[in-house]
Amino acid sequence: MGNSSKDADSANSGDGPSGDVPSSDSRVYSAGEKVLAYHGPRIYEAKVQKAEIRKNEWRYFVHYLGWNKNWDEWVGESRLMKHNDENVVKQRALDKKQGVDKNVKSGRSAQVKAKSSADAKVEKEDIKNIASKGKKRKIDSGVEKGSGNDEKLFKIQIPAPLKKQLVDDWDFVNQQDKLVKLPRSPTVDEILTKYLEYKSKKDSVEADSTGEILKGIRLYFDKALPMMLVYKKERKQCNEAVVDNVSPSTIYGAEHLLRLFVKLPELLSYVNIEEETLSRLQQKLLDFLRFLQKNQSTFFLSAYEGTKVSGGKGKGKDE
């Protein structure tokens, strides 16, 4: 996850004032060892670069094979597995479940999920409806575009600290069986309002165009959340929280808003946008992400302390 994850981990390194320090012979993985590592919802081949005792537990600095070293990061033992035949079968089974195309590097998105054809159809129809409301863009009413070509035109470069936030978010829910306690504060609505105020102070001329983009983000968030932005273990909580036509943007916060930005290239691939307009939109969305990064400690939870998922299966490795 780049230097941010290293720096963040380094800042928290060192043994705590209490607790037993693990012995050197309790280390499970060694420097130079090839392993399998969980990252988001998938398992990747990786190599242990070094191992250290940090905060009274063994931590391993890994490099994901075939990926830029900016993805290198410190991980705990629960994120790793021995590279053996049994675990390779588990990796392939998970890839198949996620619908991963072996010939395409889709990136280490924390949000990639396999969808049934029925879910995909409903999702596409809703996306078209979203884009048609209050927009000055035309929808392609003919053959739906494939995401491949469009994503080459439209990419959102999520800053490294926010990529780490996405990974931690996935880990809290899917491996530690914890949920974001709702309602969040600040909510998505409040964050969007804060950003509009921030931009208005810097450049009042751009306030109107910024406001329109934020309305679009809110609309996409409210529609996409129940379909694309909650994990399986969060669905029960979502069904209980989003009732009586309540807008998700008035309940959820930065954690789920950030997940939207992983999905936006896919969502916008169903909308006809001129290349020049697309470029300006990319810059504005990147500026908003930088605003989230600047306020990361205020907007995001550092730990999920809500009620544990009921009936969960425990660690992601066992799923």
pLDDT of residue 292: 95
Residues lower than pLDDT 70 in the chain: 1-25, 97-154, 204, 273, 306-319
pLDDT of residue 35: 94
In the chain, domain spans: 2-98, 117-318
> Which sign does the torsion angle of CA 64, 80, 232, 296 carry?
negative
pLDDT of residue 266: 81
pLDDT of residue 136: 37
pLDDT of residue 296: 94
Q: What is the CATH number of domain 117-318?
A: 1.10.274.30
For residue 265, whether the previous peptide bond is cis, meaning omega lies within 30 degrees of 0, is no
Q: How many angstroms separate the CA atoms of 79 and 132, rounded? A: 42
pLDDT of residue 72: 86
Tell me the CATH class for 2-98.
mainly beta
- State the DSSP code for 227: I
pLDDT of residue 146: 38
pLDDT of residue 3: 39
Q: How many angstroms separate the CA atoms of 123 and 151, rounded? A: 18
Beta strands in the chain (DSSP E): 34-39, 42-54, 57-64, 73-76, 80-82
Q: How many angstroms separate the CA atoms of 207 and 213, rounded? A: 10
